[in-house]
Amino acid sequence: MDLADLKTRALVDPERGLVSREIFVDPTLYAAELERIFATQWLFVGHVSQVRRPGDFVVSRMGEESVLLVRDVDGELHVFLNSCRHRGMQVCRYDQGNASEFACPYHGWTYDTKGRLGAVPALREGYFSELELAEWGLVEARVAELKGSIWACWDAATPGLEDWLGDARIWIEEFFTVPDVGVGELELIAGVQKWTLPCNWKFGAENFSGDNYHNVSHASVDQLALSPSGKAGRHQYDAIPQKPVLQNIAYAATGHSGRGALYPPGFDFLSAYAAVPELHAYYRRAYAAREQQLGERARMVPHGGTIFPNMSFSNGRTSIALWHPAGPETCEVWRFYFVPEYAPAAVKDHLRRYVIRYQGPSGLTEEDDMENWNLAHRASRGTIARRHPYHMAMGLGHELAAGSEPWIARGGTVMEGVSEQNQRGYYRRWAQLMGVL
Amino acid sequence: MSGPDNAALARLLRAREAEEFLYREAGLLDRREFTAWLDLLADDVRYFMPLRRNVPSLAPAEEWTREGQDVAWFDEGKDVLAMRVTQLHTGVHWAEEPPSRTCHLVSNVLLMDDSGPEWEVHSHFIFYRSRMERETDLLAGRREDALRPTPQGLRLARRRVLIDHNVLPIKNLTNFF
Ligand code: FES
Ligand SMILES: [Fe+2]
C-alpha cells in the first residue's frame, strides 16, 4: 500500500464503526505507525520503584527500540536510546542494574549516567583530539513522571505528559494511588513478564480499552474460584452481591479510555476478598478510607483502560501491559505487577499470587485472550479477508455526554454496559495521527 | 555381596526409579491424563517457574526471580494446579480447545542426593507443542525436582522449572512442565 494513497482508502470509519483489516497486517502501514505514533507519543517506560537509587537503570522499550531508563548520579531520570553514537552497538545488554557509566563493548566509547560521552579510546592519536565529545552523547528522549509512572517521548512538539493525557489523567492518578488512598505508593513486584504474541500490537491495546463484550472468552475460568473472593469467578468483585453498571469512558481528543463499575449507594465492597482474612481486613480499611476521601465517587470502581497507543492498566489485579510493536504480525508484551507499598506482607503475598494466576501467558484468564488475538490476526491476513472490515459499531450513536452521575464522564463520553465506543475512539485517534482521517 | 556394593546397587535402583517416574509423568501429560498426573503430586507440592533476566556474569544472583517473593511464570501449589486441570476439562478453555499435541522429551536425569526423606533429582527437557494446523512451539530448560518416596510410590514434592528464555517465545503456557 502506498502511503500517498492512504486518504483514499477507508481504513478507519468511526461514523460507521468500521476498521479495515489492512491496518493490522500491512507492512507499509506498520512502518508508518512507528514513525507517526511511536516516535511522537508519550510511552510508558517504567516505574520509580525500578530506579530508586542514583545509577539504577533498567532496559525498556519504545516502539521497536531498546531504551535505557537511568537515574543519574544527581537523582534525575533520563531515557536514552540504547545505541552507541559511534557505530550503533547496544551500550547496555543487561535488563537491570546499577552503574556509574555505560561502556560500549564495540570500541569502548563510554557514557556517564547523564548520557554524556566521556572516555573515547584513541581520542588523541586516532581523532587528533578533534572529536566534539559534547555533541556525541546518547540520544535522549523527554521524560516525565506522574505519581511514580515514568513516560518518555521523542517529539519536542508533543504537549507535556499531563496535557497529552488530558482528562484521562485521573485514571492514571487513580491507578497509581494505593487502595487506602493513604500512605505510600504502588510498588513493582520484582520481575517483568515479557512474551511474544503472534498478532498485531493493537489487538491487546484495543481489548483493554473497553472490551467488556468478550466475557465468553473466559467461560472456562469463570467456573473456577480463581479470585480471593472464594466464589466462582475470576474477578475479586464477582462476589459482590450488589450489581454495578459498567461505565465506559472514551476521550475523543486523545484516544485514551477508561472502564469502571458504578455500584449502588452503600454497597459492600469488602465481600470481594472474603476467602482471605488479611485481604478482607485490608480492603475493609482501604474502602473506608477511600469513601472518606472521595465521598460518593468511591462507588465508581475503576477496572482499567488503555492509554493510547500501547499502555493498558488493570485495577484490582493491579498491573500494566505494554503492547510493543515487533513487526506487523508480532507483539512483544511486557507486564508489570504492583502491590501497595505499605500493605501487610500477607496481603502483598496474596495479591502477588492472584495476579500471577490471573494474567500473563500462564494466567488462567489471559491464556485464552492470546489464543483469540492470535487466530483473529491470522484469519485476517488473506486477500479476501482483507476486503472485509472489522465491525466496531456496537452502541454507535448512543454515546452520552454525561453518565448517570454528573462526575463520571469528566471530559469524556460515556456508554454503559457493553459497548465499542472506546475502541472507536482509539481507532479514530490512530487514524488522525496516521493522517488518514 | 559386600556392603558397599549393596549401597551402590540400591542407589542405582533409586536412580532408575526416579528416571522412570519422570518418563511416566511426561507420558501422562502428553496423553492428557491430567487427573492421573495430579495424583503424582504431593498435596503440599510447590511448582515454580521463575523469570530469567539478562545480568552480568559476575553478578549472577539477580538472574532468576525468587520463589515466594517476585513475579514468576508459575509460583503455586496443588490448589492452583488442580484449577488448571479443571479448566482443561471444561471444554471451553479456548487456548487448549482443540487440545494441543505435546511432546515432553526428558533427559540428563541425575539423582543428585538421596540421603534425605526426599530425593533431589535434576533433569533437562525439551517441550514441543503442535497446535491447530501448523503452529509449532519449542521450549527448553531444566528442572530441579524433589521426589518423596511414599508407600504408594514416588510423589513430586517440589519442582523448579528453569527455562532458557528471557522473552518467552510462545504465546501462552497452557501446559505443564
Ligand atoms: S559502536 Fe560503540 S564504540 Fe564503536
Ligand atoms: Fe480477556
Peptide bond into B98 cis (omega under 30): yes
Beta bridge partners of B129: B102, B137
Q: Which of A191, A224, A364 sits opposite B65 (nearest CB)?
A: A191
Q: In chain A, positions 197-236, which contact chain B (CB-CB < 8 Å)?
A: 197-198, 217, 219-221, 223-226
> Residue A26 and residue A381: Cα distance in Å, rounded?
9
Per DSSP, A102 falls in state: E
> Residue A285 and residue A287: Cα distance in Å, rounded?
6
Nearest CA to A306 out of A358, A248, A263, A353 is that of: A248
Q: For A128-161, what is each residue's pLDDT tens digit?
A: 999 999 999 999 999 999 999 999 999 999 999 9
Mark yes or no for CB contact A364/B83 under 8 Å.
yes
Residue burial B14-51, b: 16+ Cβ < 10 Å; e: rest: bbebbbebbeebbebbeebebeebbebbbeebbbbbbb
What pLDDT score was predicted for residue A3? 63
Q: Which residues contact B57 (CB under 8 A, 6 or more apart)?
A: none
Q: Cβ atoms within 10 A of the Cβ of B63, count?
A: 17
Suggest the residue from B53, B166, B170, B171 to mutate for an interface test with chain A (most A CBs closer than 10 A): B171
CA B55, A335, A29, A161 torsion-angle sign: negative
Q: Whose CA is nearest to atom 1 of ligand 1?
A: A87
What pLDDT score was predicted for residue A99? 96
> Residue A84 and residue A82: Cα distance in Å, rounded?
7
Q: Which residue of B has its CA nearest to A365?
A: B93
Is A361's Cβ below 8 Å from some Cβ in B? yes
Q: Which residues contact A397 (CB under 8 A, 6 or more apart)?
A: none
- The mean of the pLDDT values for chain B is 96
What pLDDT score was predicted for residue A241? 87
Phi, psi of A241 (to 5 degrees): -65, -35
Q: Which residues of B touch A349 (CB under 8 A)?
A: 68
What pLDDT score was predicted for residue A160? 98
Q: For B67-112, what is each residue's pLDDT tens digit?
A: 999 999 999 999 999 999 999 999 999 999 999 999 999 999 999 9
Q: What is the mean pLDDT of each run of 10 residues along chain A (437 residues)?
A: 64 94 96 98 98 98 98 98 98 97 98 97 97 98 97 98 97 90 87 98 98 96 93 89 93 96 84 90 90 90 96 96 98 97 94 96 97 96 96 95 83 94 97 93
What pLDDT score was predicted for residue B138? 97
Residues with beta carbon < 5 A to ion ligand 2? A 369
Measured from the Cα of A87, ligand 1's closest atom is 1
Mark yes or no for CB contact A94/B73 under 8 Å.
no
Give me the torsion for CA of A81, A89, A35, A27, rounded to 10°: -140
Nearest CA to A430 out of A205, A212, A207 is that of: A205
A242 near A268, Cβ under 8 Å?
yes
> Residue A127 and residue A108: Cα distance in Å, rounded?
14
The sheet carrying A18-19 orders its strands as: A12-13, A18-19, A390-391
Mark yes or no for CB contact A361/B170 under 8 Å.
yes
B57 grid coordinates: 556474569
Peptide bond into A179 cis (omega under 30): no
Nearest CA to B53 out of B131, B168, B159, B149 is that of: B168
What pLDDT score was predicted for residue A226? 94
Q: ipTM of this complex > 0.90?
A: yes
pLDDT of residue B125 exceeding 80: yes
Q: Which residue of A has its CA nearest to B169?
A: A196
Q: For A357-399, what is each residue's pLDDT tens digit?
A: 999 999 999 999 999 999 999 999 999 999 999 999 999 999 9
> Residue A111 and residue A138: Cα distance in Å, rounded?
7
Measured from the Cα of A91, ligand 1's closest atom is 2
> Residue A8 and residue A11: Cα distance in Å, rounded?
9
